[in-house]
């Protein structure tokens, strides 16, 4: 079975955390100019850039709601069940996946790698919202800049019982 991503780099999440932090600071700093250019134009640059960088390193599925920094720089979308909040009940005793027994459980790797991170290592304990499928194929970085990654679709709005 072909391994997803570059495990040798993923196993050094502190380096990836530093790269993420630097990239985020640069994008926040440049955001006034970037947003003036406009998201549709930026998508033509950001989507291919994310595709050629995140796909080979992390096995990125271009979900548009990247939480690598919260999962030990391990993409939870590479889990066959695409679980975003921890392992299913089927993790084997050897730490492998129940769906693909030859594959280490994505969440076992996420926990291991989170323990090697700095400031963001504790974010693995945060409960993540379900994936907003309407963002699939969009730029996660642009969605962060616009706040789109934090918006829930109207169907997800819960109204209290009377």
**Host domain of residue 65:** 7-147
Please report whether residue 110 resides in a domain. yes
Q: What are phi and psi of 153, to 5 degrees?
A: -60, 150
Q: Do residues 139 and 64 touch, judged by C-beta distance below 8 A?
A: yes
Please report whether residue 162 resides in a domain. no
Query: Given a cut of 60, is residue 2 above it in pLDDT?
Result: no
Please report whether residue 15 resides in a domain. yes
Please report whether residue 63 resides in a domain. yes
Q: pLDDT tens digit string along 15-48?
A: 999 999 999 999 999 999 999 999 899 999 999 9
SS3 of residue 94 by DSSP: coil
Q: pLDDT tens digit string along 75-110?
A: 999 999 999 888 899 999 999 999 999 999 999 999
Please report whether residue 158 resides in a domain. no
Burial of 20 (0-12, 13-18, 19+ CB in 10 A): middle
Please report whether residue 33 resides in a domain. yes
Query: Given a cut of 50, is residue 1 above it in pLDDT?
Result: no
Q: pLDDT tens digit string along 126-137?
A: 988 888 999 999
The 3 state secondary structure assigned to 16-37 is: HHHHHHHHHHHHHHHHHHHHHH
Task: Please count the helices (runs of H) and the strands (runs of E) in the chain.
Answer: 5, 0
pTM for the predicted model, two decimal places: 0.84
Q: How far apart are CA 70 and CA 67, in angstroms?
A: 5
Q: How many domains does the chain have?
A: 1
Please report whether residue 51 resides in a domain. yes
Q: What are phi and psi of 96, to 5 degrees?
A: -100, 165
Q: How far apart are CA 84 and CA 131, in angstroms?
A: 8
Please report whether residue 122 resides in a domain. yes
Q: In the structure encoding, which two tokens stand for residue 19, read together?
A: 């790269």
Q: Do residues 80 and 105 touch, judged by C-beta distance below 8 A?
A: no
């Amino acid at each position: 079975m072909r391994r997803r991503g570059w495990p040798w780099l993923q196993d050094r999440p502190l380096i990836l955390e530093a790269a993420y932090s630097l990239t985020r600071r640069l994008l926040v700093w440049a955001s006034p100019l970037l947003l003036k250019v406009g998201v549709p134009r930026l998508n033509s640059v950001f989507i291919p850039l994310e595709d050629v960088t995140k796909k080979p390193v992390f096995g990125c599925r271009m979900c548009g709601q990247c939480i690598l920094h919260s999962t030990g720089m391990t993409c939870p979308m590479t889990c066959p069940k695409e679980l975003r909040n921890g392992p299913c009940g089927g993790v084997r005793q050897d730490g492998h996946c129940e769906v693909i027994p030859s594959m280490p459980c994505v969440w076992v790797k996420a926990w291991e790698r989170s323990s090697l991170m700095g400031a963001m290592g504790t974010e693995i304990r945060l409960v993540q919202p379900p994936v907003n499928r309407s963002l699939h194929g969009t730029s996660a970085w642009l969605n962060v800049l616009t706040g789109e990654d934090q918006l829930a679709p109207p169907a997800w709005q819960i109204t209290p019982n009377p």
